[in-house]
Amino acid sequence: MLVRLLLVWGSGCEASQRRVKAVQLVAGVDLGGTAINYTFLNEQEEFLIEGMCEHPSRSKEGPEVCLQQIGDGLKIAAQQAGVQLSDVTVVGLDTPGPSSAAGVLSAKGSTNFVHPNWAGFDIREGLERRVGKSVTYLNDGNAGALWGHFRFFGANNRATSISAVIGTGLGGGVIVEGNVVKGRKGFGGELGHVLLPFHGIAGIDGLAPECNCGRKGDLESLCSLTAIENSLLPFFLTKYAGHELGKVRNLHEAAKLVRGLAENGDPMCREIFRVQAHALGLFFDKMVNTFDPDALIVGGGALEAGEEFQRWFLDQIRAGMPEQREEQADIPLYLMPNGDTAGARGAAIEALRFLGESRLG
Q: Which residues bind Zn ion (CB under 5 A)?
A: 193, 211, 213, 215, 218, 220
What is each CA distance from 155 to 11, 29, 351, in whole angstroms? Answer: 28, 17, 10
Minimum CB separation of residue 195 from Zn ion in Å reads 9
β-pairing, 161-166 vs 170-176, is antiparallel
Residue closer to Zn ion by CB (options 185, 311) is 185
The answer to whether the CB of 190 falls within 8 A of the CB of 163 is: no
Buried b (16+ CB within 10 A) or exposed e, 318-356: bebbeeeeeeeeebebbbbebbbbbbbbbbbbbbbbbbe
Minimum CB separation of residue 219 from Zn ion in Å reads 8
Residue closer to Zn ion by CB (options 170, 352) is 170
Q: Is the peptide bond before 267 cis (omega within 30 degrees of 0)?
A: no
| Residue least distant from Zn ion (Cβ) | 211
- The dihedral built from the CA positions of residue 254, 260, 266 and 268, taken in this order, carries a sign that is positive
Sequence-separated (6 or more) residues with CB below 8 Å from residue 131 = 70, 71, 74, 91
Q: How far apart are CA 53 and CA 216, in angstroms?
A: 39
Residue closer to Zn ion by CB (options 193, 256) is 193
Could you tell me which residues are beta bridge partners of residue 25?
A: 42, 88
Buried b (16+ CB within 10 A) or exposed e, 260-285: ebbbeebebbbbbbbbbbbbbbbbbb
Give the three-class secondary structure for 163.
Answer: strand
Minimum CB separation of residue 215 from Zn ion in Å reads 5
The answer to whether the CB of 258 falls within 8 A of the CB of 272 is: yes
Angle 267-291/251-263 helices, nearest 10 degrees? Answer: 80
Minimum CB separation of residue 224 from Zn ion in Å reads 9
Residue closer to Zn ion by CB (options 196, 233) is 196
Minimum CB separation of residue 140 from Zn ion in Å reads 17
Minimum CB separation of residue 189 from Zn ion in Å reads 14
Residue closer to Zn ion by CB (options 191, 355) is 191
Q: How far apart are CA 49 and CA 211, in angstroms?
A: 37
The answer to whether the CB of 197 falls within 8 A of the CB of 282 is: yes
Minimum CB separation of residue 229 from Zn ion in Å reads 15
Residue closer to Zn ion by CB (options 30, 190) is 190
Neighbours of 294 (CB within 10 A): 18
Residue closer to Zn ion by CB (options 218, 271) is 218
Residue closer to Zn ion by CB (options 220, 229) is 220
Residue closer to Zn ion by CB (options 219, 342) is 219
Minimum CB separation of residue 86 from Zn ion in Å reads 45
The answer to whether the CB of 317 falls within 8 A of the CB of 288 is: no
Minimum CB separation of residue 251 from Zn ion in Å reads 19
